[in-house]
Structure 1
């Protein structure tokens, strides 16, 4: 390498933020021990899971870093000119977690790790600069993976929420269409009852019976299916014998509003048999409309509950500092967000948070991420018809939350590493290994602790959080 080229490259090294204050002899040593490699756009610089061998200083161009998920690569970061990547002195990393590709023509200075002992012994300022760079890199990468885990959680919750919203929204659309049909037939029903020539006294009695039934609860759920079917069949036979063509359909509506055959027979004390078809047909129209309106109201309330759960879960419109919060509220909103996943496995949930459990001061959005990760992992660990137990109790000046499942359990070997970054017991492509590491950091951020105990059929996470 010519003296001019060496001086030119040293000037480029001085432009690197980490090297700005370094003595020129140390930069010259770095240059003489390194090699400068030029990559064309699209060239592979390193592959996922390959061992770290070089420190790399990007002099020109850009390295695109990608992670593989289910056979597809997703770009997660870019290393630009003036930045340092690869292995550094004192780094414990041993393999690349992603693949690196030149996003455009790129020039990189590469120093093999075999030169690190000499660097550590004789070039202290250079080592210090690289260690500071490593600390900054770890901090930045932690923020990236924290954000990445949030996006993964959001993706899971969004999918479940879409299913949860689909049911009530579909019910509203279906009921609204049926109500529209029913409203169109209402004038005919009114015309028939007017044509029947009922007196004001008769109409008053029929109307009173109808309003009383509207106010009543629906048919008893304790009645067996066989009993319900028998009563509806009996009512349908009576209605058809009195001139109503759709006896069974009308009987189902009347039965749901707790009409009995005896009450229909008693109606004959008020009206004549000639009036039964017109009166009961009109009552059926009114009750059907009432039921459809109630269905729409129930569906709208369910959607409102889901929206409120989302607002509570994400802690919208609140300051980004510690806020008073109730443990039960956070757990309930998280269970609502994960309800589709719970239902898909028919998992029984037991939530026991007594009223005497005090509220705590917490970063509410972070705390909900703790509940989400642990409960989501518990669901994954359980087979169908599993059981999830969540309890909370005061423990001195803290609140202790226990989340237990009857899934497959975690081996003792894995328990020792369960909170390590990138450690996962799930199959390749199913887990990032970031969730419980972030959970651990969030709990520590709250000055609390998290512990796990597990055996086949019982895994228990205990999270202790200070009240203040």
Structure 2
């Protein structure tokens, strides 16, 4: 900005002050403002951009007339940045006072905070130029101190730590020379030029040391931190350097102080690294920093150009320069976010190419792990993702064995020695406790602050044994299920934030899959034991069933014994009596023959006795043959039989129970012979006939009906007893259900009959109404061997 009195004297923007009151003009000097006296004009020698010089006398302008709202606004923002510098340094030192980098950052931030606080209004703040002159070499000294301490300390500094004191001694010497410049008779401006040369030299030297150490430790754990420090320095200070470059090229002043507003990135990034010592997400920082940096440089450059040429742009329209500057400031504010967003979008496209591959990998792994039920398969899938997607040279998965509570390798990729593959980590190992308590991925440097020396060394030994860079815990709820140990990338790059995010996602996905696999294994083991137990119980039940069937058969046989014994006793007794008579007749026949008497009547009597005895023995034989069918119910052979004959055989056995009070009516249809287990069906027929007899104690009629049906044959056993109540009708086939008194019925007859008919591929049903009797209907296939 050019004051109206200077404009009237022919001074324009771009002109340079060469001398003041006959002495060379030094822009930053503590002597210049001391020689300006109110009301007394000073003689200025001015040089035009084309080299022409002229002299102008101008009176000093009061500071109040130089006050500009825009400058005050920018100065306020610079004060905020200065506070950020000073606050960051103080907070970092308060949090980590034991770290040398925290002290170095505090000193650096203090000197930069002073520079930012007074760099704009040097003419308005008393003694500001002197403070700038004194502060400049200290900036160089603190920069050297910081960059030789953090992120990597050079070996020669470790061996000779007093080297870091030398820049402070040099800065102190320059401060003393500046204060005594007049008394020592030094050329005007010499000390200010030396101060800024000293500052610039140390800054460039510090950056060079950082670059050399970064190259030397390119595979070390702090290389990423060095990258971030370098990037933060570029983002923070390149805009300022760009403005200075434009000034030098155009020989016109530009508002470089606007670019200083973005320098707060540097202390924040360095302070974060000192406090947390984490692997930096350089890709994300670069992405955001690129967007902000380009937007800052672009807006700052455009705004500076517009401010420079504001007078010539608006003079023709009669608009004041101050109004134009305020308008341009608002335009710059409005343009910053759109430009920043556009740059952010371009940066995302450039940096997110690997992220797209990671997202695809995570989706594929998530889909694949849903169906994985083997721990080895899950571990192999994790390793494939690490080596193929992330480009990791080696990785290994360790899982916890529940019984011994021991971490052991289950799968690996890459080259591993025997010590790594045989590593065992018990639950009381410090690394186990750290992974379980912190619940985050850990590097070797995360244990640098561990106060317990033994614990720290034990944790480091795990990293050294496995030769890995990162350990990622696999957690499920509060339990540690395993660990993913990851080595370096094939490219030589360290694991960035995106890589660690993928690893955490893999660990989370695999924890669910591992838990599912363990549950499946437990179920499989239970199934194995369950199958054995079921087989054992089935065999026991089969034996019990056989015993029950035999018991039921014996029960039925016992009920038959009384009637059958009486039935057998009659013909046997009759035969026995006939034999006694036959013995007498044989003696008479012998005597008659000896005497020569007529033996015709004796022979006829003997023939009648033999015929009657034969009838008795035939009756006994028939009863015995009928009884022989009863024990055949366990016979496993399928036979072709006539159902009518089987029913008649059972009726013959039941005849003693029928006597005169129960009548049997048979309604046999034209049914073919069937292939079946005859003995088992006889058991069913006998049970139904006995139940009918039990139901008709006062006498009645049993109706037996047979007929052909499309599916085979149908048999019906009906009685005219009291019937079955509806409330128990659905339970009559249940095992052990009976309405008979205790000791009379077992409740197994109908249950066993139901099972026999079902094994034949048939059906048995009951129809009954109280007071109207009961009908049991049986449907059987013609050939049981064809039933699946």
2:646 to 310, 330, 333: 330
1:347 to 658, 662, 672: 662
Alignment-derived partner of residue 198 in structure 1: none
Q: Is the 8 A contact 1:419 1:436 kept in 2?
A: yes
1:144 is displaced (CA, Å) by 3.2
Q: Is the 8 A contact 2:629 2:682 kept in 1?
A: no
SS of the residue corresponding to residue 637 of structure 2 reads: coil
Cα separation, 2, equivalents of 1:131 and 1:424: 33
2:537 to 133, 137, 142: 137
Cα separation, 1, equivalents of 2:766 and 2:719: 12
Structure with bigger RCO (C-alpha 8 Å, 6+ apart): 1
2:620 to 279, 303, 321: 303
1:461 is displaced (CA, Å) by 0.6
1:359 to 647, 659, 673: 673
Cα separation, 2, equivalents of 1:126 and 1:152: 44
1:163-312 superposed matches below 5 A: 163-187=566-590, 194=597, 284-312=601-629
Cα shift readout 1:323-352 (whole Å, capped 9, x = no counterpart)? 211101111111122222222x63211223
Q: Is the 8 A contact 2:574 2:616 kept in 1?
A: yes
1:166 is displaced (CA, Å) by 1.6
1:388 to 697, 702, 727: 702
Q: Is the 8 A contact 1:424 1:433 kept in 2?
A: yes
Cα shift readout 1:366-421 (whole Å, capped 9, x = no counterpart)? 11111111111111111244211112111113110111112222111221101001
Q: Is the 8 A contact 1:414 1:425 kept in 2?
A: no
Cα separation, 1, equivalents of 2:403 and 2:741: 50
Q: Is the 8 A contact 1:410 1:454 kept in 2?
A: yes
SS of the residue corresponding to residue 570 of structure 2 reads: helix
> Relative to structure 2, which stretch is displaced further, 442-451 or 455-464?
455-464
SS of the residue corresponding to residue 664 of structure 2 reads: strand
Cα shift readout 1:222-265 (whole Å, capped 9, x = no counterpart)? xxxxxxxxxxxxxxxxxxxxxxxxxxxxxxxxxxxxxxxxxxxx
1:423 to 726, 733, 737: 737
Task: Give the 3 Å change call, closer, same or farther, for CA 24–162 of structure 1 in structure 2.
Answer: farther
Question: Number of paired residues?
Answer: 262
Alignment-derived partner of residue 559 in structure 2: 156
Q: Which has the higher helix share?
A: 2
Task: Give the 3 Å change call, closer, same or farther, for CA 24–185 of structure 1 in structure 2.
Answer: farther
Cα separation, 1, equivalents of 2:576 and 2:690: 31
Q: Which ranges of structure 2 fall in alignment gaps of 5 or more residues? A: 1-401, 405-521, 784-788
1:157 is displaced (CA, Å) by 3.4
SS of the residue corresponding to residue 651 of structure 2 reads: helix
Cα separation, 2, equivalents of 1:442 and 1:302: 31
Cα shift readout 1:184-213 (whole Å, capped 9, x = no counterpart)? 23356668884xxxxxxxxxxxxxxxxxxx
Cα separation, 2, equivalents of 1:131 and 1:429: 37
Cα RMSD of the aligned pairs, angstroms, is 3.2
Alignment-derived partner of residue 462 in structure 1: 777
Cα separation, 1, equivalents of 2:532 and 2:607: 71
1:429 is displaced (CA, Å) by 0.8
Q: Which has the higher strand share?
A: 1
SS of the residue corresponding to residue 460 of structure 1 reads: strand
Cα shift readout 1:272-324 (whole Å, capped 9, x = no counterpart)? xxxxxxx8xx66534432321111010111122123223344449x9723221
Q: Which ranges of structure 1 fall in alignment gaps of 5 or more residues? A: 1-22, 26-122, 195-278
Provide the TM-score with structure 2 as the length reference: 0.31
